[in-house]
A and B are shown apart, each in its own frame.
Chain A
């Protein structure tokens, strides 16, 4: 399997994706933002179809659309939690509408669209691998830098008010990081299902371990397991890798819920 260059690329890219999504996912869950992650995935699709329309690399279109929309969401919803979901709906409606428009306007065939939506193992070029590596590096570097403040703001927003943290800045920076993560992850998993890696591994990890660092570690582990096994099964069966990854992560999450229920009754 590893004699094939595209499989080597896919494993390398998948590993990056799993690391970034697992770590970011812990904060997505803590900040109660699965819906935002889901929506950014769809907006990523719109960005990719825009890129196809004007002749960019899909990744660049995704970056542009997800970044702009996440900043808009951050600015418009401000610190009002309850407004956030409605703002996300409005923004995502707007962007996805544009995505559909660009797709119908562009001359590329629809198989291109499905590869963006559903992900593709063969599609990853050497150039994209380099760009993904760079983006992942940037995300992880920013994460390391703002780690302490992001942690406080995400897990204890009330307490963070008195800790001299610039909360609205943290929130925008986090959204942009999330936009980058979504664009990176979309390369293999497809924009339809990126939110799976950005939410389920972290949502499962929190039932087993109880520090932020350990949750990030375990979430990365769950994500890696899904991506590696998914790629292998995809290679064996020729079925979509995304199907396997989504199913594996869903099973991991179900097991975590069972584990939690059993532990509660046995306490």
Chain B
């Protein structure tokens, strides 16, 4: 029996006059690759924000394993073409805290490692503002990895990418999952991707949801419930 990292019980959240999540229960176990799927506006980002403790649920609870370290790649980022920091310096931003300003040897080594993991070694010194969409997503991923999290949450990281770049990014994520045992929570509205990569799914729909192993989703889909 593997260890539970997140356990969500009877979770509901309503914005004023607008119920978003109702009575949601599921678990995320260590090593899992969970795909959270659903149409635009169904509440995926809201769920993530509750897990990150940025939003309080109306009822129910979310329990995180003690000391759980979460790496998060948000859906939106304010990085424009004049964003000056290099990919490397951007990744280093996540080394926060009231500490000496300069990075320690260990921190530098970690940055180098992470840049290798996401495959940006060749362009690590390029300003992030000039990087392509796919390179930017890899840099965001690298930043989320820098503090060596147990769980990685990706919110629509592939939404703006072309099919090849999508695959490339997800191959990186899959490697993190399979080789390093990193637990993944992958949020997307892309049904094809969800079929291909995650081993579990959580499918949010208006007022209801289904969850299970990926093989169940194949069956569900054959009943033609998803457009």
Contact = CB atoms under 8 A, between A and B. Distances in A.
B97 A149 contact: yes
B78 A148 contact: no
Interface in A200-214: 206-207, 210-213
B96 A211 contact: no
Given A147-B101, A149-B98, A156 B89 contact: no
B127 A210 contact: yes
Secondary structure of the B side of the interface?
A: loop
A158 B76 contact: yes
B3 to A, nearest CB: 23
A210 B125 contact: yes
Given A146-B98, A162-B52, A207-B84, 6 more contacts: A152-B93, A155-B93, A156-B90, A211-B88, A213-B101, A213-B102
A152 B101 CA distance: 12
15 contacts: A147-B101, A148-B96, A148-B97, A148-B99, A149-B96, A149-B98, A152-B93, A152-B96, A158-B74, A160-B96, A161-B54, A165-B96, A210-B86, A210-B127, A211-B88
Nearest to A30: B84
A207 B125 CA distance: 14
Contacts of A163: 94, 96
Q: What's the interface size class on B, roughly?
A: 20 to 34
A148 B84 contact: no
Contacts of A212: 85, 89
Contacts of B74: 158-159, 161-162
Contacts of B99: 148
Given A155-B93, A163-B94, A210 B85 contact: yes
A29 to B, nearest CB: 9
Nearest to A32: B78
A145 interface: yes
B18 interface: no
A164 B78 CA distance: 19
Interface in A137-196: 144-149, 151-152, 155-165
A215 interface: yes
A173 to B, nearest CB: 12
Contact of A156 (B52, B93, B102): B93
B101 A215 contact: no
B42 interface: no
A161 B82 CA distance: 22
B93 A162 contact: no
Main secondary structure of the interface of A (DSSP, over half): helix
Interface in B64-100: 70, 72, 74, 76-78, 82-86, 88-90, 93-99
A206 B84 contact: yes
A96 B99 CA distance: 39
A163 B149 CA distance: 12
Contacts of B102: 213
A151 B76 contact: no
Given A159-B93, A211-B89, A145 B98 contact: yes
A160 B144 CA distance: 11
Contacts of B96: 148-149, 152, 160, 163-165
Contacts of A165: 96
B88, B95, B96, B98 interface centre (most CB from chain A within 10 Å): B96
Contact of A162 (B72, B82, B97, B127): B72
B82 A206 contact: yes
Interface in A53-67: none
- Listed from nearest, the 6 A-B pairs whose CB atoms lie closest are A206-B84, A147-B101, A210-B86, A211-B89, A152-B93, A162-B72
Nearest to A260: B82
Contacts of A207: 84
A149 B98 CA distance: 7
A41 to B, nearest CB: 24
Interface string A118-140: 00000000000000000000000
B14 to A, nearest CB: 22
A162 B145 CA distance: 13
Nearest to B89: A211
Q: Which residue, A148, A211, A213, has most C-beta atoms of chain B within 10 A?
A: A148
B106 to A, nearest CB: 15
Contacts of A159: 74, 77, 93-94, 143
B94 A152 contact: yes
